[in-house]
A and B are shown apart, each in its own frame.
Chain A
Amino acid sequence: MTATLSVDWTRCDGHGLCAALLPDAIVRDEWGFPIVRAGAVDASDEADVRRVVAACPALALHLEQR
Chain B
Amino acid sequence: MTTLLDAPVDTSAWTIGPPRLLAGLDRAERLDAAAHLATHGPLPGSDLRLLLGHLDAARLTGRGGAGFPLAAKLRALTGGARRVVVNGTESEPTSRKDRTLLRRTPHLVLDGALAVAHATGAREVAVAVHDERSAESVRAAAAERPDGRQVRVHLTAGGFVSGEARAVVRALDGGPALPPGRRTPPTATGTLVSNVETFAQLALLLRLGPRRFADTGTHAEPGTALLTIGGAVARPGVVEIPLGTPLGIVLAAAGAPVLPQAVVVGGYHGSWLAPLPQLRLGREGVAAAGGTFGAGVVLVLDGATCALGELATVTGWLAAESAGQCGPCRFGLSALAADVAALAAGRPAVAAAFGHARTVDGRGACSHPSGAARFVTSGLHLLQDEADQHLAYGGCGRPVLGQLPVGGAR
Q: Do A and B come from one complex?
A: yes
- Chain A residues proximal to chain B, CB less than 8 Å: 6-14, 29-33, 35, 60, 62
- For B182, what are the chain A residues with a Cβ–Cβ distance below 8 Å? 8, 62
Contact between A31 and B331 (Cβ–Cβ < 8 Å)? yes
Separation of A61 and B325 alpha carbons in the complex (Å): 16
Separation of A50 and B182 alpha carbons in the complex (Å): 18
Per-residue 0/1 for B170-181: is the Cβ within 8 Å of any A Cβ (1 yes, 0 no)?
000000001111
**B52 close to A (CB within 8 Å):** no
Contact between B331 and A9 (Cβ–Cβ < 8 Å)? no
Contact between A9 and B180 (Cβ–Cβ < 8 Å)? no
**Of B325, B331, B332, B359, which is within 8 A of A10 by CB?**
B325
The 9 closest A-B pairs by CB, nearest first: A10-B181, A9-B326, A8-B181, A33-B327, A31-B331, A10-B325, A10-B365, A9-B364, A33-B328
> What's the dominant secondary structure at chain A's contact region?
loop
Separation of A33 and B359 alpha carbons in the complex (Å): 10
- For A10, what are the chain B residues with a Cβ–Cβ distance below 8 Å? 178-181, 325-326, 365
Per-residue 0/1 for B336-369: is the Cβ within 8 Å of any A Cβ (1 yes, 0 no)?
0000000000000000000000010001110000
Closest A residue by C-beta to B360: A29
Separation of A35 and B329 alpha carbons in the complex (Å): 13
24 residue pairs from A and B, CB less than 8 Å apart: A6-B183, A7-B363, A8-B182, A8-B365, A9-B327, A9-B328, A9-B329, A9-B363, A9-B365, A10-B180, A10-B181, A10-B365, A12-B327, A14-B327, A29-B328, A29-B332, A29-B359, A31-B327, A31-B331, A31-B332, A33-B328, A33-B363, A35-B359, A60-B181
- For A32, what are the chain B residues with a Cβ–Cβ distance below 8 Å? 327
- For B332, what are the chain A residues with a Cβ–Cβ distance below 8 Å? 29, 31
Separation of A10 and B182 alpha carbons in the complex (Å): 9
* New contact pairs (16) apart from A10-B178, A35-B363, CB-CB < 8 Å: A6-B183, A7-B363, A8-B181, A8-B182, A8-B365, A9-B181, A9-B325, A9-B327, A9-B328, A10-B325, A10-B365, A29-B332, A31-B332, A32-B327, A33-B328, A60-B181
- For B364, what are the chain A residues with a Cβ–Cβ distance below 8 Å? 9
Separation of A7 and B329 alpha carbons in the complex (Å): 13
Separation of A10 and B179 alpha carbons in the complex (Å): 9
Contact size class for B?
10 to 19
> Whole-angstrom distance from the CB of B11 to the nearest CB of chain A?
35
Per-residue 0/1 for B145-183: is the Cβ within 8 Å of any A Cβ (1 yes, 0 no)?
000000000000000000000000000000000111111
Closest B residue by C-beta to A11: B181
- For A62, what are the chain B residues with a Cβ–Cβ distance below 8 Å? 182
- For A29, what are the chain B residues with a Cβ–Cβ distance below 8 Å? 328, 332, 359
> Whole-angstrom distance from the CB of A26 to the nearest CB of chain B?
13
- For A60, what are the chain B residues with a Cβ–Cβ distance below 8 Å? 181
Closest A residue by C-beta to B335: A30
Per-residue 0/1 for B86-119: is the Cβ within 8 Å of any A Cβ (1 yes, 0 no)?
0000000000000000000000000000000000
Closest B residue by C-beta to A6: B183
- For B363, what are the chain A residues with a Cβ–Cβ distance below 8 Å? 7, 9, 33, 35
- For B181, what are the chain A residues with a Cβ–Cβ distance below 8 Å? 8-11, 60
Separation of A33 and B331 alpha carbons in the complex (Å): 10
> Whole-angstrom distance from the CB of B324 to the nearest CB of chain A?
10
Separation of A35 and B369 alpha carbons in the complex (Å): 14
Separation of A13 and B359 alpha carbons in the complex (Å): 16
Closest B residue by C-beta to A9: B326
> Whole-angstrom distance from the CB of B353 to the nearest CB of chain A?
14
User: In chain B between 181 and 208, which residues have their CB closer than 8 angstroms to a CB of chain A?
Assistant: 181-183
Separation of A1 and B231 alpha carbons in the complex (Å): 49
> Whole-angstrom distance from the CB of A32 to the nearest CB of chain B?
8
Separation of A7 and B105 alpha carbons in the complex (Å): 42
> Whole-angstrom distance from the CB of B323 to the nearest CB of chain A?
9
Separation of A33 and B369 alpha carbons in the complex (Å): 14
Separation of A32 and B331 alpha carbons in the complex (Å): 11
- For B183, what are the chain A residues with a Cβ–Cβ distance below 8 Å? 6
Closest A residue by C-beta to B182: A8
Separation of A36 and B131 alpha carbons in the complex (Å): 40
Separation of A60 and B182 alpha carbons in the complex (Å): 10
> Whole-angstrom distance from the CB of B163 to the nearest CB of chain A?
17
Separation of A34 and B364 alpha carbons in the complex (Å): 12
Separation of A46 and B230 alpha carbons in the complex (Å): 52
Separation of A7 and B182 alpha carbons in the complex (Å): 9
Separation of A11 and B328 alpha carbons in the complex (Å): 12
